[in-house]
Amino acid sequence: MSNSNSDSDAEDRQMGIELGDVNDEIESHDYPASTEELIDEYGDRELELPNGSQTFAEVLEPAENKTYESAAEVRQDVFNFVGSDAVGREDYSDRGTAPDEGKGEDEPKSL
């Protein structure tokens, strides 16, 4: 049994970006569509980021004269163009360190 609500939440939040209603709106938009058309229609929508928010217009502005063939293309540019506020903790990884990283040359290495 699938929880469609959590599936929807996962689709709306990707790569640290909360797309919210704009995800559904760009999904139902008629394509092809220009950057200008999308910004005119959805530019004031807020995209929630881990460290703040940006408007759809602020994020998509660098793609100024582009024509999009699908909502997937729009989302990809949103992910590409979003500012560093979407990064969260910079220079952080929860993967730990490399096995021998941080050990001095004189320290024995485990086999």
| Interval 12-36 mean pLDDT | 84
- Say if 91 falls within a structural domain: no
- Say if 108 falls within a structural domain: no
Q: Which residue has the higher pLDDT, 3 or 27?
A: 27
Residue 53 has pLDDT above 50, yes or no: yes
Residue 14 has pLDDT above 60, yes or no: no
In the prediction, which pLDDT does 16 show? 59
Cα 28 to Cα 88: distance, rounded to the nearest angstrom: 30
> With contact defined as beta carbons under 8 Å apart, do 83 and 16 qualify?
no
Report the predicted TM-score, pTM, of the whole model to 2 decimal places: 0.63
- Which pLDDT band, with edges at 50, 70 and 90, does 107 fall under? low
Q: Which residue has the higher pLDDT, 27 or 50?
A: 27
- Say if 111 falls within a structural domain: no
- Say if 92 falls within a structural domain: no
| Number of domains into which the chain is organized | 1
Closest CA to 47 of 62, 32, 60: 60
Residue 79: domain span:
8-86
